Copies of this chain bind each other. A is one copy, B any other.
C-alpha cells in the first residue's frame, strides 16, 4: 500500500488514541493482523482511531457508551464488545454504568442480547479485578 505522508500522522495519532482507549486489547488486535492483513491493521488505526476517535464534539466516555451499546445490540461481535467494555472502563465509564447500558439493550435488541452482553462484562470485570490483584 502506498503510504502518504499524513497517513503517518493519522497512524501515529490513531495508535496514541488506540492505546489510550483500548490499552492492550487494541494493541493485540493490531498485532494479530500483522501476518494476515497488515494494511487492514493500518486502516483500523487510521480511520476509527486516527479520524473518528480524534474528533472533538463527543467525549471519549460518550463514544464508548455508544460503542458498547451498538456492539451489544448487534450481538455478533463478542470479542470486540469485550475490548470496548474494557475501553469503557479505561475512559471513565464505571462498571455499574456499563451494566446499566447492557441491561437497557434488552429493550432495543432483546433479552438475549442483554444477557450475552452482561456475561461478557462479567468476564472483563473479573479479568480486570485479577489484574488489579496481581499488580
A interface with B by C-beta (< 8 Å): 1, 4-7, 9-10, 29, 32-33, 35-37, 39-40, 43-44, 47-48, 51-52, 55, 57-58, 62-63, 65-77, 79-80, 96-97, 99-116, 118-119, 121-122, 125
Query: Is A33 in contact with B118, judged by CB distance below 8 angstroms?
Result: yes
27 CB < 8 A contacts A-B: A33-B118, A35-B122, A36-B122, A37-B99, A37-B103, A37-B118, A40-B99, A40-B103, A40-B115, A47-B47, A48-B107, A52-B104, A52-B106, A58-B101, A58-B104, A65-B66, A66-B105, A69-B69, A70-B72, A70-B105, A73-B74, A76-B112, A77-B108, A77-B110, A79-B112, A80-B108, A80-B112
Number of copies: 6
Query: Is A57 in contact with B100, judged by CB distance below 8 angstroms?
Result: yes
Chain A contact surface mostly: helix
